[in-house]
Chain A
């Protein structure tokens, strides 16, 4: 399974109509364009990642000298740190989060992509949650979901329903975490769809409607295919981000009740910075990375199989 093979959506290299000298110049230019971000990515991301892979084979608490332990961290994280459980919890979160978040974001974008009076205001309002800091949000969620004095249960109480203890009930805690995240990021993802919608020439709709295509068929035949790059971005970054969810779970439940919302990244955080078991936390990071990589490659493969001519 070659990585390059699944990366279509990039044009096929073409060698015609170019002299070797022009080719060399073009390659030089390309690397000149790439240079600053490449330096940044290599220095501040790739090198630390390689170091983390090395650390995953060691025992280290930041202070003692590194001790080589081979692959034993990879066994210990499943045996002692319930990392398998964390992965399952994370997968559950991703499944709850991604479809709803994507549909809500797309819906918001379609609804607000116009110049009607008021929609500009609503666009700002929808993005507000993305601007919030986690520390402020923690108190806000308490106002809503506290079992006794929370607004949700007080409202339910008015209509005679005794609401559950949302965050300390294993059945509702994770859906609430997912809800909070959807609330926070729906407007953010809406931005990408809005930007994507701008790239669709209105002439295409005009042509289609002259051909007598209905709105639904215009949506299916024009909007969705042309939104595919934006959709791919939202899905890929959304899945990557969801597998690494941390803030919301940390702030709302800190992993509880029991370990029902101890997502992988929270486990990694606790292992690294409460237990100071950097080696184990690194091993967890490597495994989570591999999981995300597989899912991302699958996403790209799927999108490429369905790539149509519009995608370059």
Chain B
């Protein structure tokens, strides 16, 4: 009896709360209409909750300057971002302006989702030379430009200062490597790898079965992992932008990969692929780094915020080693895509201009969110992190040096996913480099062919 009464009371409470939500929430039961009155409401999509805070500050400034435009930020989960933008585009629901990551850029361009901004850039007299030229190239095709560069990233080596102090080693400014395993980089990595009894990998007593700290942690990734070593041999994933076949069957590609998966792995100086994820995808490298199980973590600058919260020791950043073709980092950056079917092309362009302007990039840079794409503003970001105790200049040195653009082609997202899956066994030691690369080339080609 008591149970029944309580059940009824509960039912009443639920009904009441639903009614409350309906009344209070100005619930959306009707079809959504756009802005009201003379005011235009733009939707701006992004995928990172942390950077959203910086963007909100910037957009607040924009709204002050444009009282007739209101901007709603739509946060979309990263794993569903490309799909959702595409789905919304075909039903005319896509945001007016949205972040574009480079793996999807080619597909969005080919499908006509993005507006060519070249005429607008010309009409508004925007100085494109203020940006890193590689970023402009990355987002251009046949004279069309699909966005104003906003930020960039390079790959470098975060290192555990406490560990290197403990083993009495300093990191030389320039380390070099060769495909045959010679060069100062490999020797240095051996010095920086220690087993549980404190012997380093150069010592005859070194026990490879009980490594306490591997010198390096890197992983199966076209940007933060093998991509940089392949680039330092002059290799690429695709021969030229918007290519519909891969160039994985080049010696440079196989040599770059096998330097990591054979040379360094056999020397026991990098964390074994099986320790970094199901396909050596590096899921847990941050944890290995914070736990002191890797001394250096090869990663992009966007990890600094997470790193800063996680580590309990001082962190430094060293540049990548120098390969046969020089020191080459994969270079990447975001733009805002302007929906080619937007109802408000004029207002969306205003927002695009603002977010690509020195004022907005200064807000994001000085808040420590991203390296500004406008070269002259880079010190702002560097200063923010210097105050936090991390010297970020290695990333900048690389950006000012030789870089290789993140590959752009239609179907690239799918191709890279497939390539990583196929290269996984090479990292795990269950397949040879050449058979893994052959499979990756075959599947990558199919993804690019069907994507184009």
Contacts and interface: CB of A to CB of B under 8 A. Distances in A.
A and B co-occur in one complex: yes
Contact of A63 (B82, B90, B291, B446): B90
Which of B291, B422, B451 lies at the interface centre, i.e. has the most chain A CB atoms within 10 A of its CB? B451
Contact of B279 (A63, A148, A256, A277): A256
A273 interface: yes
Given A168-B428, A254-B281, A276-B86, A259 B421 contact: yes
B277 A63 contact: no
A195 B437 CA distance: 54
Interface stretch (B55-63, B172-180, B282-290): B282-290
B90 A80 contact: no
B90 A62 contact: yes
Chain B, interface size category, equals 35 or more
A254 B275 CA distance: 16
B293 interface: yes
A123 to B, nearest CB: 16
Interface in A259-301: 259, 261-262, 270, 273-277
A165 interface: yes
A153 B107 CA distance: 43
A144 B231 CA distance: 36
Tell me which of B86, B422, B450 has the highest count of chain A C-beta atoms within 10 A of its own C-beta: B450
Given A142-B283, A149-B284, A275-B414, A165 B275 contact: yes
Contact of A258 (B107, B275, B422): B422
B220 to A, nearest CB: 9
Nearest to A81: B446
Contacts of B277: 167-168, 256
B21 to A, nearest CB: 21
Contact of B278 (A62, A64, A173, A275): A173
B428 A257 contact: yes
B350 interface: no
A contact residues, range: 20 to 34
Contacts of A62: 86-87, 90
B273 interface: yes
A168 B278 contact: yes
Interface string B92-122: 0000000000000001000111000000000
Nearest to A59: B450
A146 interface: yes
A254 B279 CA distance: 9
A258 B435 CA distance: 12
A169 B274 contact: yes
Contacts of A165: 272, 274-275
A218 B431 CA distance: 55
Given A257-B424, A276-B414, A148 B87 contact: no
Contacts of B278: 167-168, 173, 252-257, 261
A253 B279 CA distance: 8
Interface in B406-451: 411, 413-414, 417, 421-422, 424-425, 428, 430-431, 443, 446-447, 450-451
A61 B275 contact: no
Interface of B: 82-83, 86-87, 89-90, 107, 111-113, 272-275, 277-281, 283-284, 287-288, 291, 293, 411, 413-414, 417, 421-422, 424-425, 428, 430-431, 443, 446-447, 450-451
Given A168-B273, A168-B274, A173-B278, 12 more contacts: A63-B111, A148-B288, A149-B288, A165-B275, A170-B430, A253-B278, A253-B279, A256-B421, A257-B425, A257-B430, A259-B421, A270-B414
Interface of A: 61-64, 80, 142, 146-149, 165, 167-170, 173, 252-259, 261-262, 270, 273-277
